[in-house]
Structure 1
Amino acid sequence: MFDTHVHTSISDDCKMPIEDAIKRAKGLGIGMVVTDHMDINYPKDNLFVFDVDDFFNRYEKYRSDKVLLGIEMGLRPDAIDENRNLEKNYDFDYVLGSIHVVNSVDIYEERFYLEKSKKEAYVEYFKAMLDGVRENEFIDSLAHIDYIGRYAKYDDTEIYYDDYREVIDEILREVAMREKSLEINTRRLGNRSTLNELFNTYKRFYELGGKTVTIGSDGHTTESIGVNFKEAMELASSCNLRPVYYKRRKCEYI
């Protein structure tokens, strides 16, 4: 088993040294993939970017069969060429694509939701994700499709698949058509109602031709590494999806 989404102190929102992450993963008997944030052209200068040469200079010595070096790339329309160049020119094991910023606003921020209904905000988010998948064909897996459910500023932040079926299906179809993986992000799986709603999305991914999932905690602390993995594996199994990880950009079955 691999936790395929782990951050370290290279990410601007994380203070965890890689040594602590490795120790935690080893204690759990799992492998891990470092996926520090690279969100080129993030709205605030010098945030969520890092020196990739320095990254490899510092972390290559830790790479092994159980510690892999990846990257989490922000799928932004103004960073496609830069992302592609990084993917081509550096020896990452894994490229994880994600959406954090929509129309130049981080969806963590309250201002993204001002004067928008929940449906308007969520559809805007999903459309940005759809564009990101279409424009960045080189990613290996699409991260946390349910990310907006963590931070939306509504009384009920849950993502009900039936409310967004049309645009979610487009995303899932694109990921499946490209034979990419869809991440099961474990951050929200401790909530049974969330798990039930996500089942609808991942089942539909399988129905549209999806075959594989990566499982990642999005860990920023040692305590979060490997969290809710039992639930993630059960979700994958119930949807007939195969958990995988990537090594040297090749899909490895768990």
Structure 2
Amino acid sequence: MKFDLHTHHYRCGHASGEIREYIEAGIAHGLSVIGISDHSPYFWHDDDHHQPGIAMAKSELPNYINEVLALKKEYEGKIDVLLGIESDFFPDYKEVYQNVYKDIPFDYIIGSVHFSGGRSIFDKTLFHDVDEKKKREMKDQYYRLIMESAKSGMFQILGHIDAMKGFYPAFSDIDSPLVEETLKVIGETGVAIEVNTSAKMKDAEGWYPSDDMLEKALHYGVEISFGSDSHVPERVGDEFDLVCEKLKEIGFKHMVYYKNKEKRIVEI
């Protein structure tokens, strides 16, 4: 069976299309399960809609939830529609996010580090005029955040765990023992990581994470999920079959998705 747990829509401000369009695209691509996981609001900020080109407004969250739950009922028997969210991880505001999420019937929450050292990991100037020592420090800081997100207990899946390479492909070559330590911790906590096929939309191309990281993930018993990270309906399920082939080649026997926050196994 095919699934895709990482999809966005117009509410985040940098994706296009209605949720219904993503569901219909999932059906057209032969998916059995589609997860809707738009970007979480900035709950820590006083403004209702902080950075409208990045995340949805706080006031839109109930509308988002109600729409997904209504579509879940409407499409029952055609495709399993899951309610998810891609949540930023800010250690200083962890309890703020936990309090918001505790009463929402999410099937799963993707935890993603989008900011490290106070800057977006997708800032194209992030590594400009930075020496090798500083690059190592930046990579270490990023993986400390990911490690902390795994330990937080807030998430079922961690999103694009080497996405800092998005506009700086050489990021993968920066030596840091924290990468392997992070994968070890992820394996111990039981949270999954996703193979995210959206790196092709940036300079890095390919997928997140790298094949090398996937091999290490297998060694540490890390569960693998799948997400296209589609911001247009046309990318729903993008390269799912190729991902399955690569995972089998590495040695994985299955992938996972989550429903009612319970792990479901999908053999590959």
Q: Which moved more, 1:230-239 or 1:171-180?
A: 230-239
Query: In structure 2, which of residues 120, 123, 137 is the aligned counterpart of residue 109 of structure 1?
Result: 123
- Counterpart of 2:187 in structure 1 is 176
Residue ranges of structure 2 left out of the alignment (5+ in a row): none
Distance 1:158 1:225 in 2: 27
**1:204 is aligned to 2:206:** no
Distance 1:105 1:131 in 2: 18
Q: CA 1:146/1:197 → structure 2, altered by over 3 Å: closer, same or farther? A: closer
Q: CA 1:73/1:195 → structure 2, altered by over 3 Å: closer, same or farther? A: closer
Distance 2:37 2:257 in 1: 12
Distance 2:255 2:100 in 1: 26
- Counterpart of 1:159 in structure 2 is 172
Contact kept? 1:172, 1:208, Cα under 8 Å: yes
- Counterpart of 1:224 in structure 2 is 235
Give how far 1:171 is off.
1.3
The aligned length equals 247
Query: In structure 2, which of residues 39, 45, 50 is the aligned counterpart of residue 37 of structure 1?
Result: 39
Instruction: Kindly report which structure 2 residues correspond to 1:71-110, keeping only aligned pairs within 5 A, or say none.
Output: 71-110=85-124
Contact kept? 1:188, 1:194, Cα under 8 Å: yes
Distance 2:244 2:100 in 1: 31
Distance 1:143 1:69 in 2: 16
SS state at 1:138 partner: coil
Q: CA 1:175/1:34 → structure 2, altered by over 3 Å: closer, same or farther? A: same
Residue ranges of structure 1 left out of the alignment (5+ in a row): none
SS state at 1:151 partner: coil
Contact kept? 1:75, 1:133, Cα under 8 Å: no
SS state at 1:37 partner: coil
Give how far 1:194 is off.
5.1
| TM score, norm. by length of structure 1 | 0.86
| TM score, norm. by length of structure 2 | 0.82
Once the two structures are superposed, residues 99-155 of structure 1 have per-residue CA deviations (whole angstroms, 9 ceiling, x without a partner) of: 111122112224533442343433332222223323x21200111012111123xxx
Query: In structure 2, which of residues 64, 67, 70 is the aligned counterpart of residue 61 of structure 1?
Result: 70
**1:142 is aligned to 2:158:** yes
| Root mean square deviation, CA, Å | 2.7
Contact kept? 2:26, 2:236, Cα under 8 Å: yes
Distance 1:33 1:196 in 2: 18
- The share of aligned pairs that are identical, in percent, is 22
SS state at 2:105 partner: coil
Q: CA 1:184/1:15 → structure 2, altered by over 3 Å: closer, same or farther? A: same
